[in-house]
Chain A
């Protein structure tokens, strides 16, 4: 905890979501400890964070630009022991059960007993993650959306054992970041992915069947429904590979063919067309 009582937050996993969450925390005055597998990954995350902080000036209100980069600080570590002083942990590692399974018992060991763990996940069962620790009441889901600093709300997921106190702690942290918690119960894909993933999948079928081009499909959603971004630009932003993975998880969890991934989606992933992060998905990007 910092001098003024602002919780210090541990971020495990420094990919796009980890960096975005760290940026949001730093910009709201929190100290952050970021942990990942090796120094190279952390260096890349630090560079990305610096770049995004700089670019965030674009969207800052006039007069507030200077306050941003100095408001908090981030330390980087490859050892989980570095999480010993943190007051809250947000886990952002790859959405693979084998990796999460090994991580949570380690977090349980290095973090103080009162620390809560939030899984920044769009599909992993919070109840199941809680079962990996001796503190299931203190495990909660925080499904941040990309880009984290620009999103005003977070899908917060209650696991079977998650306590009201943990929810309050999570809500307080999010409020300090200027974000609203929208609380839902644990279920595969929660609410957002359960609706969004089949929507994107269906849009990809439309491209595959040449009913419309990606630009036309997205324009319908943007111009007619008033969405900020159509389903295919959204897929590119989330990561085409992540979309496939999320659909596979839904398919497996529900055993329902309505989540069957479109063959074009699979081909794009195999071809390395992963969206914004690789410069090419349904659209082309500057990387």
Chain B
């Protein structure tokens, strides 16, 4: 999956909940004031189920979920380490 596909899936999920949001991929969604901590948890669950991966506990910090770019990086990091672990 390309980075663009990952970012667009994440963006789509966020906009599905907040359709009125004009969101740049490098914009802090928490700072925009729309997103609460419960939605952060939903983001974790969405990323894990959509990309079929398990985010390592040490990556479970709000900073990794602040922007679409940060989440995409997290997905790529986790997916890569998953492959490495299997190999």
Interface residues of A (CB under 8 A from B): 54-55, 57-59, 62, 65, 147, 150, 215, 219, 222, 228-229, 237, 283-287
Contacts and interface: CB of A to CB of B under 8 A. Distances in A.
Interface centre among A57, A229, A284 (most CB of B within 10 A): A57
B44 A55 contact: yes
Contacts of B13: 286
B45 interface: yes
Contacts of A237: 38
25 contacts: A54-B57, A54-B60, A55-B44, A55-B60, A57-B60, A58-B40, A58-B41, A58-B61, A58-B62, A59-B37, A59-B40, A62-B61, A65-B57, A65-B60, A65-B61, A150-B37, A219-B20, A228-B36, A229-B36, A284-B17, A285-B42, A286-B42, A286-B46, A286-B49, A287-B45
Contacts of B60: 54-55, 57-58, 65
B19 interface: yes
Contacts of A283: 17
Nearest to A223: B33
Contacts of A284: 16-17
Q: Most chain-A Cβ atoms within 10 A of its Cβ — which of B38, B60, B65? A: B38
Q: How large is the interface on B (under 10, 10 to 19, 20 to 34, 35 or more residues)?
A: 20 to 34
Nearest to B38: A147
Contact of B57 (A57, A219, A222, A287): A57
Contacts of B57: 54, 57, 65
Contacts of A55: 41, 44, 60
Nearest to B37: A59
Contacts of A215: 19-20
A66 to B, nearest CB: 9
A156 to B, nearest CB: 24
A20 to B, nearest CB: 12
Interface in B7-63: 13, 16-17, 19-20, 34, 36-38, 40-42, 44-46, 49, 57, 60-62
B80 to A, nearest CB: 21
Contacts of B46: 286
A57 B61 contact: yes
A58 B37 contact: yes
B37, B40, B49, B65 interface centre (most CB from chain A within 10 Å): B37
A237 B36 CA distance: 13
B39 to A, nearest CB: 9
B60 to A, nearest CB: 4
Contact of B44 (A58, A229, A287): A58
Contacts of A229: 36
Contacts of B34: 222
A219 B42 CA distance: 20
> Top 6 nearest A-B pairs by Cβ distance?
A57-B60, A286-B46, A286-B42, A55-B41, A286-B45, A58-B60
Given A59-B62, A286-B42, 16 more contacts: A57-B57, A58-B44, A58-B60, A59-B37, A59-B40, A62-B61, A147-B38, A215-B19, A222-B34, A228-B36, A229-B36, A283-B17, A284-B16, A286-B45, A286-B46, A287-B45
